[in-house]
Amino acid sequence: MTESVRTWLRSCPLIDQNDRFSINYLGAEPMEYTVEEVPGVPVLTKYMDGSTMRSASFVVASRSEYSADVLQNIANSGFWSQLETWVEDQNRQRKYPKLDDGQQARSIEITSSHYLYEVGANTARYQIQLQLTYYQKGARH
C-alpha cells in the first residue's frame, strides 16, 4: 500500500521526477522525499460478509535546503501549501492511489498540515500526515 501512495504522489506535478522518493527512508541531502507508515486505527468498520472499511496513515516528508534566508524558507512552506491543495483536489476528484485487488480507496485526506519537523545546519525536514480510507473485500465476498 505504501508503494501505491508513493506512486500516486509521484504523479503530482510539484514533485520533480528526478528527485529521490523513498519509502521509510529520508536521506541527508536535499531534495529527497519519503512516504513513511505511521500507527493508526486499521479497521474502522466490520461488515457481516467479512468486508471491512479500513484506514492507513502515512507521513510524507522531504529534506529541503534550509537557512536564515527568509525567501528560501517561504519557498519551502509554499511548496507544502501547494502539495496540500493538490491532495485536496485529488480527493475531491476521487483520484486515489491504485490499490491491490479486493481493495478500493474511498478517500485520502490530510490529517496534519505541513510543519517543520527537524532542522539541521543547511537542511530541514518538512512533513504532512495523510490518512487513506479504503474498502477491503471480505473472504466470504
Per-residue pLDDT tens digits for 19-57: 999 999 999 999 999 999 999 999 999 999 999 999 999
User: In the block, which residue shows the cell 484506514?
Assistant: 55
Q: What is the pLDDT of residue 140?
A: 64
Q: What is the pLDDT of residue 121?
A: 87
Handedness of CA 48, 39, 113, 59 (dihedral sign): negative
Using DSSP's 3-state secondary structure scheme, residue 59 falls into strand
Per-residue pLDDT tens digits for 88-104: 999 999 999 999 999 99
Q: Could you tell me the CA-to-CA distances from 61 to 52, 79, 80, 117 in Å, in that order? A: 29, 12, 10, 9
Domain residue ranges in the chain: 2-136
What predicted TM-score, i.e. pTM, was given to this entire model?
A: 0.92
pLDDT at residue 141 greater than cutoff 80: no
Q: What is the pLDDT of residue 69?
A: 87
Q: State the amino acid at position 48 in one-letter form.
A: M
Average pLDDT over residues 123-138: 97
Per-residue pLDDT tens digits for 68-86: 889 988 999 999 999 999 9
Round to whole Å and give the CA distance between 132 and 103.
12
Q: Which fold has domain 2-136?
A: STM4215-like (3.30.2000)
Using DSSP's 3-state secondary structure scheme, residue 11 falls into coil
